[in-house]
Homo-oligomer: A and B are copies of this chain.
Amino acid sequence: MSQDQTARVLAALDSARTATEASLIDWLRIPSVSAQPAHAADCRHAAEWLAGELVALGFEAGLRETPGHPVVIATHPGPSPDAPHILIYGHYDVQPPEPLALWDSPPFEPQVVPGPRGPRLVARGAVDDKGQVMTWLAALRAWNKVAGGPPVRVTVLVEGEEEIGSPNLEAVLAADKDILSADMVLISDTNMWDAATPSLTVSLRGLVYTQIDLRLGDRDLHSGLFGGSAANVLNLLTKILGELKDADGRVQIPGFYDGVQEPTAEQRAAWEALGFDEAAFLGAQGLSVPGGERGRSAPERLWARPTADINGIWGGYMGEGSKTVIACEGHAKLSCRLVPGQDPQKVIEGIREFVRSRLPADAQFELQVFASGPGISIPMDSPFVQAARAVLAEEFGRPAVMAGGGGSIPVVSSFKSILGLDSLLMGFGLDDDQVHSPNEKFELACLHAGARSHARLLGRLAQR
């Protein structure tokens, strides 16, 4: 009976494809950029949109206020109080779209354009995360249409600050613990292995994000009158950052690798068996010479090794032509992806010491911290992970790759520490989706396969 029901749900999904795409396009029009205060009202609007969609499916849904952007919380009692209970997490906020000049179409005017694998939807948030949220929202709609509701108890928690480090989320989880209880968390914000092969993400890197602000002297100076006597803050800043890694790519921040475990032989063998094609991975981005630590494989460098990347740098004269100035201020944004075992606070202190120990006595230095969260390992033997492996194999006709994630989803750590829940990371993005870049896209094939996978998963979890 259940399998027949799942089949009818899948058929309902298939006949609603256009409506699913149209619904996502409507949501994508709302420029819910959490990092920019000018878009605060848009963020609220995007939250209200989702809450409205859930109310239409029989959920109790509302906006839970925070000091920042609101959180959408919605609950559905499912078929019975004994049914398994899943908590679905997502985020309605999106990355800033800048630089605008590099978009082929306006970031908040979604376009369906042809691509090598079929049509794709281009917009900021197309995959990260509104498109991926739509994969389970569409599945819930289909279950509602066929069965009157989901086959399990469902709580939805969709926040609006993921792209700015979720500053208010932990407080919400702690305060609303009672209404957020469940058996597991389901998150769709990661990637498939490739366009034909699904993936479950079994580890996530953490993130520490800082800004280095240096000042040398009271004012800008004439480089002829002062050059050779006055020290130059931009020479200093580049000297410091230039020492971030040694010739083998090893990060020189003190204590950086404390707690980082070497992979086991089995892990190395599993990565080897993936046949990861780094030349193609980089080649698609116009790159050929890998970064990262010498002597380690690409999966290891992407999933199991920490990084130190300069995300931005500025100071002095940046306009046309020449200005012979010795500036008095320089700035850089420096962030590190962390792996399980590293303590984010210690990494922050390490960054502070790395810079401080290289400063002359008259330099002024401030370190701002914008994000801080640890790396995470997810146990592979849970029944939820097993259920997901099964439905993905059914949908795609091949087993899911059990992969590490390079990016950070700090909330996974918060769900564990505050609610005691493990997360299931089943996502449908692709590596070339250009998340955080201009012309972000989501393959329509991935949208619909993702919705079908979620529909299957809800049915499978109900059978437990």
Contact = CB atoms under 8 A, between A and B. Distances in A.
B241 A301 contact: no
Interface in A309-332: 309-328, 330-332
Contact of A311 (B36, B309, B323, B434): B323
Interface of A: 35-36, 95-96, 98, 102, 164-165, 191, 205, 207, 209, 216-232, 234-235, 237-245, 278, 281-282, 285-293, 298, 301-302, 305, 307-328, 330-333, 335, 337, 360-362, 370-371, 405-408, 431, 434-439
Given A292-B228, A292-B229, A406-B227, A435 B318 contact: no
A197 to B, nearest CB: 17
Contact of A312 (B216, B310, B323, B362): B323
Nearest to A278: B229
11 contacts: A35-B323, A223-B337, A224-B407, A225-B406, A227-B291, A228-B292, A232-B309, A234-B309, A238-B242, A242-B243, A318-B331
A343 to B, nearest CB: 19
Task: Specify how many copies of this chain sit in the oligomer.
Answer: 2
Nearest to A362: B288
Contacts of A435: 222, 225
A229 B313 contact: no
A10 B335 CA distance: 65
A401 B335 CA distance: 52
Contacts of A286: 217-219, 328, 362
Contacts of A407: 222, 224-225, 324
B362 A335 contact: no
A313 B292 CA distance: 24
Nearest to A220: B437
Contacts of A293: 228
Given A228-B337, A371-B322, A407-B224, A289 B362 contact: yes
A224 B322 contact: no
Contacts of A287: 216-217, 230-231, 362
Contacts of A219: 102, 285-286, 434, 437-439
Given A217-B287, A287-B230, A307-B228, A322 B164 contact: yes
A310 B191 CA distance: 41
A312 B222 CA distance: 13
A325 B311 contact: yes
A310 B232 contact: yes
Contact of A319 (B98, B325, B434, B439): B98
Contact of A322 (B35, B313, B317): B35
